[in-house]
Amino acid sequence: MVPGILGRKRGMTTIFTPEGTAVAVTVVEAGPCFVTQLRTAENDGYSAVQVGFEESKRLSKAERGHLKGLPPLETLREFRLAEGQAAAVGDKVDVGIFQVGELVDVIGTSKGKGFAGVVKRHHFAGGPKTHGQSDRHRAPGSVGATTTPGRVFKGMRMAGHMGNKRITTKNLRVARAEPDRNLLLIEGSVPGPDSGLVIIRKMTGGS
């Protein structure tokens, strides 16, 4: 069994439990995906399954050759296989692999914020707003010493590119799975913008 699926985030909404509790959920249009390649410990040094998602007419000859006998799938990702898990090329994967209440990890690319200062990027408090400090309100302050060590240490929190990074949100609960509509409802928020690619991984698997 493939331990995960690929999908597109479609936004958030609210559903109600049978007890009448309102729950915020993220709607993901997940699958159908197809197994496109197998990785084995003998040939590749590890066991994994490659999964394809979303058909496209803009594939190269090499890509079409790799997918011979399968739909022209544009997005390919790998899931590590645990001991005892198996799959075959051509297997179809849909949201039916998930059960309501199951915990999953969701991987996505966070929204890009562009160049941001230290207050927005690292939640710095900023400088004093009185006593003559007219231009230090959102400045970082001191970033290092003088003669010793005479340089700024690597990893210092400073202004720079914010967002647009791979983010994994763990232990999210599956609220609903609708295989006939390829929809998966996950409690809480998941990384990335609407229409962003997300990887939904079972807790026992890897990617």
pLDDT (0 to 100) of residue 206: 44
Total domains, the chain = 2
Q: Which domain holds residue 76?
A: 4-112+166-202
**Do 84 and 31 belong to one domain?**
yes
pLDDT (0 to 100) of residue 82: 85
pLDDT (0 to 100) of residue 162: 97
pLDDT (0 to 100) of residue 199: 97
**Do 82 and 129 belong to one domain?**
no
Helical segments of the chain, H only: 41-44, 61-66, 118-122
CB within 8 A of 11, min separation 6: which ones?
A: 26, 27, 194
**Do 22 and 96 belong to one domain?**
yes
pLDDT (0 to 100) of residue 80: 93
Tokens at 33, concatenated: 């995906």
- The answer as to whether 207 is a domain residue is no
pLDDT (0 to 100) of residue 204: 58
Confirm whether pTM is higher than 0.75: yes
Given a cut of 70, the residues of the chain with pLDDT beneath it are 204-207
- The answer as to whether 84 is a domain residue is yes
**Do 171 and 143 belong to one domain?**
no
**Do 23 and 103 belong to one domain?**
yes
The answer to whether the Cα torsion of 59, 52, 196, 107 is positive or negative is negative
pLDDT (0 to 100) of residue 83: 80
pLDDT (0 to 100) of residue 207: 44
